[in-house]
Structure 1
Amino acid sequence: MDLKNKTILITGGGAGIGLEAAKQFLENNANVIITGRNQEKLDAAKKRYPNIIAIKSDVASGEDAISLLRQVKELGGIDILYNNAGVGVMPLNLGIANDKHLENATYEMNINYLGVVRLNNLFLDMLQSRKESAIINTTSILSYVPSLLEPTYSASKTALAFYTKSLREHLRIANSNVKVFELLPPLVATEMTASRNDKKISPEALVKELIAGLKKDRYTIRVGDTKVVYILNRLFPKFAFRLVNPKKADKFLE
């Protein structure tokens, strides 16, 4: 896929992976629109990269999504929709029934899965009107093997992974020109993972792999440890499970 002069919309673009993606897409001569819920972060991103367009929008809000579509149409439309926004909530105690579990799971599912479906549905006609276009959905290493510490987050990313594969095939059958990419990161060093001491990769390294995959039309882009876990889970699923869920994690579940 040729990125030059393409216009890309990046959700959750005010910080972390999304902001790094904005930087690297600009370096590849693309036009970039970012969205996010935090106006201060969007303003800081705009100050850092004046060429981007920043729009405050919450992917979990239907009203915001419709407003975003209208604003993007006024700007001339997009060629690539990069569904990057995502959230994760660590469980308090899985062994005790608690309304907070459902609240957290709903929060994760609304943003990580339903928000993606909503935006894809709204922007699909626009993307199909372009000569070459794409949807990028960010799933996770945990869509292969669930984390005991992040069960509902893992579930939301697994739902997105199945949806992404189905969407790609549906569009192929319909002879659509919209390419559907799945980005599968391992643990990435962002604000969301700042308190964790596990092995992480940088947003810069992740986005480099993403852009390389886009240019080669590699529709499933596994990065870092995701490649290893993918193979191990196919051959030795119990070993892969313990690799993702080491013994030291058990103490958090007691």
Structure 2
Amino acid sequence: MGASGEFMTRFTGKRILITGGTSGIGLAGARRIAEEGGRLILTGTTPQRIADAREMLPTALILDNDAGASDGAEELAATVAKEGGLDGLWLNAGYARTSPVEEVDADFFDRMMNTNVRGPVLQLARLSEHLNPGASVVVTSSTSTYEGAAVASVYAATKGALVAVARGWASALAPRSIRVNVLVPGAIDTGFRSFMSEEVRQTFEADVIGRVPLARVGKPEEAAAVALFLLSDDSTYVTASQYAVDGGLSKR
């Protein structure tokens, strides 16, 4: 089989779980994994996005599962146990809000930490036993970790925490030949900043894009392509690494 044929079947016979897989980068990755022969388990929380994803990916198992819920990881692991082992786990679900530092309160902090840090940590803890030898784990962080944006300190802290725990996971899982790497997207056109007012969003994005050497936002498919490289056997000697997909914004 030629190189192009091999590329199109990288995920044949493999089961991949993507949290936050019903929109944005996760959905772009899921569509491509399906095209390349993979079996998918996706999670989401928005009913319409879940319905749309089920129509788009009829062979995928798509679950209503909240990474920030206290019992979300246990529920997800129980479903995975019925399906069989995982060859890839992409911890991609996330929650973002911005706030001046003076306006951060306990609810704001807890919601962000529960979804972006506690959720993935507990998911990995519960799903670890279901990872097949040689499996790959990808964790979605953000260039916010390195940007120092005044209104994104808590969000940046959660994404920085993921970088730290992923390095520990890489060490812990290496004896099982399981790799752990971090995807670090920059300004990607996913609608992730839709919670902002139009004026604030435009100002924020103009500032970010103004610092991007490639002078544009990225496409979800561009970030997903790097995640799929890390999930596939193309990256069998890559672990404990960070891959920035940011048009050069962080210059990492």
TM-score class, shorter-chain normalisation, is 0.7 to 0.9
Moved runs in structure 1, 4+ residues, more than 6 A? none
- Give the corresponding residue for 1:78: 86
Q: Tell whether the 8 Å contact from 1:12 to 1:86 is kept in structure 2 after alignment.
A: yes
Q: Tell whether the 8 Å contact from 2:86 to 2:130 is kept in structure 1 after alignment.
A: yes
- Give the corresponding residue for 1:165: 167
Q: CA RMSD in A?
A: 2.0
Per-residue CA deviations over 1:65-91 (Å, capped at 9, x if unaligned) read 212211111122322111110011111
- Quick one: distance in 1 between partners of 2:170 and 2:43? 24
- Quick one: distance in 2 between partners of 1:111 and 1:40? 20
- Quick one: distance in 1 between partners of 2:246 and 2:187? 9
Structure 1: gaps (5+ residues): 232-254
Q: Tell whether the 8 Å contact from 2:189 to 2:219 is kept in structure 1 after alignment.
A: yes
- Quick one: distance in 2 between partners of 1:29 and 1:228? 33
Q: Tell whether the 8 Å contact from 2:18 to 2:92 is kept in structure 1 after alignment.
A: yes
TM-score, length-scaled by structure 1? 0.80
- Give the corresponding residue for 2:181: 181
Identity, % of aligned positions: 24
- Give the corresponding residue for 1:41: 49
* 3-state SS, counterpart of residue 133 of structure 2: coil
State the 1:213 CA deviation: 4.1
* 3-state SS, counterpart of residue 105 of structure 2: helix
* 3-state SS, counterpart of residue 144 of structure 1: helix
Structure 2: gaps (5+ residues): 1-9, 210-216
- Give the corresponding residue for 2:221: 204
Count of matched residue positions in the alignment of Structure 1 and Structure 2: 222
- Quick one: distance in 2 between partners of 1:9 and 1:20? 14
- Give the corresponding residue for 1:245: none
- Quick one: distance in 1 between partners of 2:81 and 2:229? 28
Corresponding letter in the other structure for 1:101 = D
- Give the corresponding residue for 2:35: 27
- Greater Cα offset, 69-78 or 209-218: 209-218
**1:11-22 residue pairs with structure 2 within 5 A?**
11-22=19-30
Q: Tell whether the 8 Å contact from 1:20 to 1:203 is kept in structure 2 after alignment.
A: yes
State the 1:117 CA deviation: 0.3
TM-score, length-scaled by structure 2? 0.81
